[in-house]
Chain A
Amino acid sequence: MTLVRQAGVIAAKDLRIEVRGRHAVGTILPFAATLLIAFGLSIGPGRTLLQQTAPGLLWLAMLFASVLAFRRSYEAEGEDGALEGLLLAPIDKAAVFLGKAAAVALQLIALWVAVLLLVAALFDVSLGGDTGIVVAACLLGTIGLAAVGSLFGVLTESPRAREAVVPLLVLPLAVPVLLSGVKATSLGLAGLGSQAGGWLGLLVAFDVVFLSAGTLVFEYLMED
């Protein structure tokens, strides 16, 4: 089997777990909605302020929600010795990384749709403007986040794992995604998409660095 086929098998397995367990729908989506409501309440009912901060709040909600998705992705492997099974499977470790990243990315994209609609409704933001730029920013940001998360989600599988370690590691690493995503999204929503090229380029650079770094070093996180 080629690397892509192997990754596809892993991704299909993870998505099947999600479809049957409905963790993202049942936990992560309500969590993202709660965050957005909390942000709205803490900023107050002023319409202009809410509209101005909406891109930032959108990405913050996605960033925090995605940390839950990374944890979930490896939580399932901790049960019934599934991780050992994965280690013993005759596949490339890089395929495990890529497959898990793909599965998380697909779940996050579904989450994006819901969160974007929520932001549009709650903060009275029009999703018009350069929609293509907004969609591109969301997709590119998601790939980068999924790569970081699928690389370091495995750290939750330590006997002494502490809840805060994955966010502590992932959130500072993902600062470029947050910044570029927020900037590209605000430019896109404002109809200034032509100025967002640099930010999208930065997102692409981040995706390339983390996908290739993950493919190269993931096996060292897994082997025992």
Chain B
Amino acid sequence: MRIATGGERLMGKMAARTGEKVLGWVSLVAVAVTLFMSLVVVPPDASQGDVQRLMYVHVPAAWLAYLSFFVVFVASIAYLVTKRIRWDRLAAASAEVGVLFTALTIALGMLWGKPVWGAWWTWDPRLTTTAILLLLYLGYLAVRRLPESPARRARWAAVIGIVAFLDVPIVQLSVTWWRSLHQGPTVRLLGESTIAPIMLTTLLIAVGAFTVLYSYLIVLRLRVGRLEERAVAEALSPRIGVPVAEVVDDVDEGEEAVARG
């Protein structure tokens, strides 16, 4: 019986690895298509010229930033409700990817702002909100490094993941009242958009490609998270060098695995 479950687990693992590879290739192709569309197919912007092409990376990166932090929020609530460590792993993975893409959004925005606005940085609401967003989640990642116990780390992180996300709309509102300079939204769900169809198509492809890339990065980071926990469990195992993989895979609560190992 035990051999059978072991075999099933192996099959499951191989299927997961295949899925991961497929996801990786799909993201690669999608990003390549985005590059081709945004650099070759789409004509340069009438007023801004080639610089405007940055939009096809900047907007999807900003979308991913917000998506990631929303996932952190949902996973944090799910962790506090269920106490399953896999939710904490998801929150941690999503926060890391989110910080990466928030930083990318700001960097690309600055590259675009210098020629178009004439300054690297302006105290525009969306820029300022994004910068504060980056700081908030850098704080989240800093707190994740504090506690010794995985369960405590997960609980602290979950509280911050929830509170930080609730803070974002208030920050956004306060900074918007404070001043405004950013381009108005060009894509509207209802009514007339002020963007050429080919540009819109490219933008949507780019958003799709980045979203696939996001799921690939998350899947990858989740596996690294599991491996990290296994490494800790093995290091604490009385039988050093003997894999305790089965224990970690079976038990969802990481700390329990450490205690058993």
Contacts and interface: CB of A to CB of B under 8 A. Distances in A.
Contact of B135 (A160, A161, A165, A172): A172
Interface in B146-167: 146-149, 152, 155-156, 158-160, 162-164, 166-167
Interface string A201-224: 010011001100100010011011
A172 B139 contact: yes
Contacts of A19: none
Interface string B173-185: 1110110000000
Contact of B174 (A159, A171, A179): A179
A151 B147 contact: no
A169 B227 CA distance: 29
Task: Report the contact-size class of chain A (Cβ under 8 Å from the partner).
Answer: 20 to 34
Interface string A166-208: 0011011101100110010000000000000011001001100
Interface string B29-40: 000000000000
B138 A168 contact: yes
A2 interface: no
B166 A198 contact: no
Contacts of B152: 224
A160 B172 CA distance: 33
A20 interface: no
Contacts of B173: 176, 202
A139 interface: no
A169 B177 CA distance: 23
B222 interface: no
A159 B231 CA distance: 23
Contact of B170 (A159, A183, A206): A206
A220 B158 contact: yes
5 contacts: A171-B135, A172-B132, A172-B135, A173-B164, A220-B80
Interface of A: 151-152, 155, 158-162, 164-165, 168-169, 171-173, 175-176, 179-180, 183, 198-199, 202, 205-206, 209-210, 213, 217, 220-221, 223-224
